Amino acid sequence: MIRTKSFLSLLLLTALLSLQLTTRAEDGYRLWQRYDQLPSKNHLKQYRQSLGEVMVQGSSPTLTVVKEELQTALGGLLGQPVTITENSRKKEILVAGTPASSALIKGLNLEADLQKVGKEGYVLVSKKAGGKKYTVIAANTDLGVLYGSFHLLRLLQTQQDISNLQVSNSPKVQHRILNHWDNLDRTVERGYAGFSLWDWHKLPQYIDQRYLDYARANASIGINGTVLTNVNANSLVLTPDYLRKVKALADTFRPYGIRVYLTARFSSPIEIGKLKTADPLNPEVIAWWKNKVDEIYRYIPDFGGFLVKANSEGQPGPQNYNRSHADGANLLAQALAPKGGIVMWRAFVYDNNVPEDRAKQAYTEFKPLDGTFKQNVMVQVKNGAIDFQPREPFHPLFGAMPKTPLMMEFQITQEYLGQGTNLAYLAPMFKETLAADTYANGKGSTVAKVIDGSLHNYSLTGMAGVSNIGNDRNWTSHPFGQANWYAFGRLAWDHSLTSEEIAEEWIKMTFSHDPGFVAQVKNMMMGSRETVVNYMTPLGLHHIMGWDHHYGPGPWIKDKPRADWTSVYYHRATEKGIGFDRTKTGSNALAQYAPDIQAQWGNPATCPEEFLLWFHHLPWDYKTKSGRTLWNELCYRYSGGVDSVRAMQKTWNTQQGKVDKERFKQVQMLLTMQEQDAKMWRDACLLYFQTFSKRPIPQELEKPANTLEYYMSLDPKFVPGI
Ligand code: BDP
């Protein structure tokens, strides 16, 4: 009797425990690496049979990571313990390694395949040999093995057939880098997910588990570099106290293939070096940077290099000494070259004298410098010429500097796309820029081909994403912000992936395999960026957001220290019409593009409607493609944006029960906020532009809820990220 009782209570305890495990709060911390047991019985059977034992021969810090990751991930996904061995007697096994680390792999004759995949690539193959069936992850380097392992895990996480693998994969771009705009006091410029991950105060002794999970997540999507500090730089990070802390992070990230970079404040020789000048041609300055770089490499032998914002928004730079951007970049490049480091010199510059059109500035300054940069310099160019707007035409520098490697800079953090509260899946935006045709070498000269070096034969290539990560438990504040981090990494590795496939993988790994859920949520994500464009800046409008914090609408912003920081400078609305004339009759920024593009975009009739008011100033009664007047079309676009948010809310509400309660509720609340934001954008912008157009909002559309004065009086305090 007693025994039965204790047996029963044991059963109860086990049941309770497992209930507790399965109902554990989904706080989003695990990102797309959740590794819960897979739902499909058939797939489980296949995976358990072929991957029940894992053979990894050899040892290195990276191979240790491979072993740990495979053990944890397979154990979770397969729902059974997985052994990692050096030798296996089993008939079917997973084997991972390089020909150098593993005699078994060496014996499998993969040389021809491996030759094609370079240092970071890998092959995944199913092989039969000696009466055994192998699932093979093979690469030329341990890092390649790690990337291959993550690829295999992704196949499992998305429940693919792995019985006959023939995968060969390598990155299209060499430097795939996150840019953290993190300050040493742990605030994050344009960060909406809490404070900086880097706990400088506790470094170097205290290595937060977060650093490891950050590295795992990044390695799983192929990111191989991280700039730890803000482009608005603090030279303190180059002092020994901080270099010791940076070293601790670099040591932590190294096994995951992630190199560390820092932002270099151009005036550092003065601020921390006690020199009188930072003139890039001054011998003392040259020697100072050389010594500083040597010192950094003593701490961090594989230090990646510097990212520099110079002569832009008040940052010091070579122009303070009448030197060029190339002089500045080459100064640092020269110091880094013997160590294998690179310089990422940003093209986001604008003059202290307000130019006739800020969109022209970067091209005007950089184009003449083409061919004058040292070999280890990349010029890092934002996707568009203004500033990460919800939609911009591609930056005219792409395709215009055939002798200088250009690096893409995307913004993952949603500074201008609803920050931490709006759902906007950014892969379609990244893809739009990458797919744009520069016509630099005739038709088909896409931005992607500029970036991957194939158009102009650059051997140095890179893509940077301004991070949206902070110390919020779920890393990105909005649960769907994780998708943008994920998509950036995947596209930096392979820009030919489609936004749909990336979304689909991410949803399955992050939320659920339920086909209905996957289809509907994917659909919702795919339209979400266009939705934001519609309720914020339709038809090519841009830079009409709230002052300073950039949250919410502010088309009325004027009379600020610089004209090009105001909204009226960009929309140019009058009683006659609206839009920025960038054709010959206006600023002629269009002339910075190839003749084919000029011909198409220069004429409002052939200009893609999404760029209409970017390039043209048009009368309110101008007939748009829908047949509506420009004013009515604006009203329809703004209203359509709000309707689409409501459609997203409906879609999400029907997913209740298909996803854990926590994240369901979070997204639901955020979508409610987004609907309010969208209405505010619509109402504020239409009421404001109506003061010029003097036309009614079409009868059939929802009317603004408040007066223009009300919207103009809103002044939110302590918006994060400033
Ligand atoms: C703008 C941001 C500002 C950044 C700047 C940059 O508002 O905080 O410092 O870009 O990229 O978008 O340097």
Under 8 Å between Cβ of 119 and 140:
yes
Residue 312 one-letter amino acid: S
Active-site residues: which are they? 313, 387, 415
Is 9's pLDDT higher than 60?
no
* DSSP at 36: P
Q: Indicate if the pLDDT at residue 448 is higher than 60.
A: yes
Ligand 1 centroid to Cα of residue 89, in Å, is 58
Please count the residues of the chain: 722
- Would you state the pLDDT for residue 24? 62
- Its sign, for the CA torsion 227, 228, 231, 234, is negative
| pLDDT for res 353 | 75
Q: How far is CA 356 from CA 353, 365, 564, in A?
A: 9, 14, 9
Banded pLDDT at 18 (limits 50, 70, 90):
very low
Token pair listed for 129: 């040999």
Distance from the Cα of residue 585 to its chain's centroid: 37
Nearest to 709 by CA among 556, 579, 571: 556
Which band of pLDDT confidence, cut at 50, 70 and 90, is reported for residue 350? Answer: confident
pLDDT digits (tens, 9 = 90+) for 82-136: 999 998 889 999 999 999 999 999 999 999 999 999 999 999 999 999 999 999 9
Report the run of H or E that residue 3 belongs to, with start and end.
helix 2-22
| Closest among 667, 328, 658 to 482, alpha carbons compared | 667
Asked whether the predicted pLDDT for residue 33 surpasses 70, the reply is yes
pLDDT of 567 over the 80 cut:
yes
Domains of the chain, each with CATH number or no CATH: 27-169 (3.30.379.10), 175-189+229-235+247-469 (3.20.20.80), 534-580+617-713 (3.90.1330.10)
User: What is the mean predicted confidence (pLDDT) over 370-381?
Assistant: 98
Radius of gyration from C-alpha coordinates of the chain: 27
How far, in Å, from the CA of 172 to the mean position of ligand 1?
28
Q: How far apart are CA 393 and CA 600, in angstroms?
A: 13
Q: At what angle do helices 499-510 and 481-493 cross, to 10 degrees?
A: 130
Pairing of strands 122-129, 305-308: unpaired
Which residue in 658, 673, 680 sits closest to 511, CA to CA? 658
Closest residue (by CA) to atom 1 of ligand 1? 387
Average pLDDT estimate for 414-430 = 98
pTM attached to this predicted model: 0.96
Q: Write the DSSP string, 307-363.
A: EE--SSTT---GGGGT--HHHHHHHHHHHHGGGT-EEEEE-----SSPPS-GGGHHH
Residue linked to tokens 């020269």? 334
- Mutation to probe ligand 1, out of 179, 187, 188, 189 (largest number of atoms < 8 A from CB): 189
- SS3 readout for 652-663: HHCCECCECHHH
Residue 112 makes CB contacts below 8 A (sequence gap 6+) with: none
Query: Is the pLDDT confidence value at 12 over 50?
Result: no
User: What does the pLDDT average to over 501-515?
Assistant: 98
Output the pLDDT for position 14: 45
Instruction: Name every protein residue with a CB atom under 6 angstroms from any ligand 1 atom.
Output: 189-190, 231-232, 309, 313, 348, 387-388, 415
Mutate which of 182, 387, 468 for ligand 1? The one with the most ligand atoms within 8 Å of its CB, which is 387
State the distance from the centre of ligand 1 to the C-alpha of 372, rounded, in angstroms: 26
How many other C-beta atoms can be found within 10 angstroms of the C-beta atom of residue 79?
Answer: 13
Could you report the per-residue pLDDT of 529-538, keeping only the tens digit for each?
999 999 999 9
Looking at the predicted structure, is the pLDDT value of residue 433 above 90?
Answer: yes
pLDDT at 481 over 80: yes
Kindly report, residue by residue over 614-629, the tens digit of the pLDDT: 999 999 999 999 999 9
| Ligand 1: residue whose CA is nearest its atom 9 | 232
Ligand 1 centroid to 722 CA: how many Å?
10
Average per-residue pLDDT in the chain? 95
Supply 239's token pair.
């002092």
**Ligand 1 atom nearest 312 alpha carbon:** 13
Dump pLDDT digits (tens) for 254-292. Answer: 999 999 999 999 999 999 999 999 999 999 999 999 999
Considering the chain, what percentage of its residues have pLDDT values greater than 70? 97
In the chain, what are the helix, strand and coil shares in percent, each to the nearest 5? 45, 10, 45
